[in-house]
């Protein structure tokens, strides 16, 4: 069977990000997602080697080689909105569209404002009746949690948890164009007249260029892609493109060395940092193939003009 694309897929429409209700407007404010999901029955999922096999091919829709613009075209299928929904009339009142899905949870206030953080790092207040943008502030990272508001000694505060993490930033790095800077997780609190400066996030020091020459044959790259999709992309990113939360394996110096790669991937030396050994269910042939695929993807990015070749000499 050919590839089938379902939009929205199982991760949304609406995911965990809290929605809100305002009894004065009678509207429900929903962070809506449009995330495609790819199904393909050509490969037998019983052959899949993964700790998490729920019966679909994790590599469905993944080309090993693709022309420039392919990943951007897949990313264009993604989107979302903040939707003000009238549950009595069962119809939308207003919507703010977003090119990226999985924007933040929503807070609706008595004063007629709707607050939401989005994937561009903005925390925005909208008019609850009309959706007009009333105020915004750049947080750098991405507030996926819903903001909250509270009063202490007559003063009103608004706090939001912000950072650069979450499932979407791990898996869907390719939707951001380039990996965003890492923002350390932080709680940011606003009040009227507040004037503290927000510290800037740490700059990423890794140069986005291949760290070794390409190796392996197309068969090995194909196997590596399959095993990467089944095991690694949930954290290191679909199509081997990281969203910047954890290292992009294409630019990692560890990917360039078979020995260093085996120490991490097979022997688990980074286990305390959250990177466990995969030697329990992936053979050396599998993990070698993943390394070959990752480096092949690094050179594919160079060929497609998405990364620069290493400096010569």
| 3 state DSSP class of 286 | helix
SS (H, E, C) 15-62: CCCCCEEECCCCEEEEEEEECCEEECCCCCHHHCCCCCCCCCCCCCCC
Paired residues of 30 in beta bridges: 83
Q: Which is nearer to ligand HEC, 93 or 227 (CB)?
A: 227
User: Does 224 engage in binding with ligand HEC (CB under 6 A)?
Assistant: no
Part of the chain binding ligand HEC (CB under 6 A), chosen from 42-50, 62-70, 213-221, 241-249: 241-249
- The single residue among 22, 78, 247, 296 that binds ligand HEC, judged by CB under 6 A, is 247
- Does 28 bind ligand HEC (CB under 6 A)? Our answer is no
Distance CA 148, CA 257 (A): 47
Distance CA 16, CA 42 (A): 32
Cis peptide before 253 (omega within 30 of 0): no
Taking CB under 6 A as the criterion, the residue among 290, 292, 295, 300 binding ligand HEC is 290
278, 266 contact by CB (below 8 A): yes
DSSP state of 272: G
The binding track of 248-267 with respect to ligand HEC, each residue x by CB under 6 A or -, is: -x--x-xx-----x--xx--
Find the shortest distance in angstroms from Cβ 33 to ligand HEC.
Answer: 22
Residues in contact with ligand HEC, total (CB under 6 A)?
Answer: 20
Among residues 160 and 264, whose Cβ is nearest to ligand HEC?
A: 264
Minimal distance, residue 86 CB to ligand HEC, in Å: 41
Using left for φ > 0, alpha for ψ between -120 and 50, and beta otherwise, residue 268 falls in left
* Interacting residues toward ligand HEC by CB under 6 A: 231-232, 234-236, 246-247, 249, 252, 254-255, 261, 264-265, 270, 273-275, 278, 290
């Amino acid at each position: 069977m050919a590839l089938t694309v379902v939009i929205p897929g199982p991760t949304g429409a609406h995911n965990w990000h809290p929605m809100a209700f305002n009894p004065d407007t009678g509207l429900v404010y929903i962070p809506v997602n449009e995330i495609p999901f790819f199904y393909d029955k050509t490969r037998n999922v019983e052959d899949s080697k993964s700790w998490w096999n729920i019966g679909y091919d994790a590599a469905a829709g993944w080309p090993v080689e693709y022309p420039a613009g392919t990943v951007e075209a897949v990313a264009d299928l993604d989107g979302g909105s903040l939707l003000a929904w009238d549950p009595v009339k069962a119809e939308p009142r207003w919507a703010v569209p977003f090119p990226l899905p999985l924007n933040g949870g929503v807070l609706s206030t008595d004063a007629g404002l709707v607050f939401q953080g989005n994937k561009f790092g903005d925390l925005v207040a909208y008019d609850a009746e009309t959706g007009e943008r009333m105020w915004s502030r750049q947080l750098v990272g991405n507030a996926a949690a819903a903001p909250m508001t509270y009063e202490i000694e007559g003063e009103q505060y608004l706090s939001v948890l912000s950072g650069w993490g979450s499932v979407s930033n791990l898996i869907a790095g390719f939707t951001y164009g380039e990996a965003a800077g890492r923002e350390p997780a932080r709680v940011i609190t606003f009040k009227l007249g507040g004037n503290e400066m927000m510290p800037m996030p740490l700059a990423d020091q890794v140069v986005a260029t291949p760290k070794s020459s390409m190796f392996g044959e197309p068969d090995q790259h194909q196997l590596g892609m399959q095993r990467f999709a089944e095991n690694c992309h949930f954290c290191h990113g679909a199509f081997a493109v990281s969203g910047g939360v954890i290292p992009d394996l294409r630019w990692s110096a560890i990917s360039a060395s078979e020995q260093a790669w085996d120490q991490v991937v097979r022997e688990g030396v980074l286990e305390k940092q959250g990177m466990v050994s995969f030697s329990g269910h992936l053979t050396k042939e599998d993990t070698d193939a993943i390394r070959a695929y990752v480096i092949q993807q690094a050179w594919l990015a160079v060929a497609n003009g998405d990364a620069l070749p290493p400096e010569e000499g």
